[in-house]
Amino acid sequence: MNFQTAERNIIQEISQTLDGVSPDSINQLIEKIEHADKVFFVGVGRVLLSLEAIAKRLAHLGIKTYVVGQITEPAITSNDLLIVGSGSGESMFPLGIARKAKSFNASIVHIGSNPESTMRQYADLFIRIPVQTKLSQPDEVTSLQPMTSLFEQSLLLLGDSVALMLIEKQNIDMHNLWQFHANLE
């Protein structure tokens, strides 16, 4: 396979996957972000990398974001939102953090591919990225890519789409966003 073929296959998979995400669930996520005092993110592996990028982008919009485990992480409260990224919804660390956040009455959003996961008992909102799972749902997008690459890519672009929607909804002047960009580089 050459580069152009690989690139086209990946873009087609991502497009098909994001077309399968519920717009209503994204609107609910935006509302939760706007009403939260602070937005926390938790995930593991490559999912965590996508979540860190989303947290950074939302911070550029002036939203107080924190990645669970970072040294400056404050306490979570009932006024806050925890966004959990976990395709399976069964990863031990995100499950434990969701359980703990729920004990503080924080709002929890799970972005994953498995609507029947253990995470559903903690999540106030589930956003399904319909990629291939062991459940073999009829609307799952299969992938030529290794492992869970399609989930992580779709998660990152879902986050960028949410940021763009927030910019438009709040009529944010994008030039003014540079005030939130790192300047010690």
CATH label of the domain that carries residue 69: 3.40.50.10490
Of 13, 90, 116, 152, the active-site residue reads 152
**Would you tell me how many other CB atoms lie within 10 Å of the CB of residue 69?**
11
34 is catalytic: no
Whether 141 is covered by a domain: the verdict is yes
Determine the structural domain holding residue 147 and report its residue range: 3-171
pLDDT in tens, 101-146: 999 999 999 999 999 999 999 999 999 999 988 777 888 999 999 9
Q: Is position 184 within any domain?
A: no
> What is the count of structural domains for the chain?
1
Q: Are 109 and 127 in contact (CB under 8 A)?
A: yes
pLDDT digit string, tens, across residues 15-73: 999 999 999 999 999 999 999 999 999 999 999 999 999 999 999 999 999 999 999 99
> Residue 177 falls within a domain, yes or no?
no
Cα 32–chain centre separation? 13
Cα R_g (the chain), whole angstroms: 16
Is residue 56 in a domain?
yes
The pTM assigned to this predicted structure is 0.95
Distance CA 149, CA 74 (A): 31
60-109 pLDDT, tens digit per residue, is: 999 999 999 999 999 999 999 999 999 999 999 999 999 999 999 999 99
